[in-house]
Amino acid sequence: MDLFDSRIPRLEKRVARIEHKLDLILAHLGLTEPEPWSDEVNALVRDGKKIQAIKVYREATGAGLKEAKDAVDKLG
């Protein structure tokens, strides 16, 4: 393993923390940013394709199954 490979996990954690902080700031300001995949997920929910919507949500966000299911359930 070279030096670059050993830094990746640490950098991924730092990016995740930064993204979390930005999400908190946006929520505090009452701002929302539409996600490019959200239209597809909404359309799948409208068409009764909940499982496919969960799959698309997970692929787009990296969310776990429960988190994705909860998010899709809120839509429909």
Domain map (residue ranges) of the chain: 1-33, 35-76
Reported as a single tens digit per residue, the pLDDT across 34-74 is: 776 788 999 999 999 999 999 999 998 888 999 999 999 98
pLDDT band for position 76 (cuts 50, 70, 90) = confident
Report the pLDDT value the prediction gives residue 37, as an integer from 0 to 100.
Answer: 76
Distance of CA 71 to the CA centre of its chain: 9
Query: What is the three-class DSSP state of 76?
Result: coil
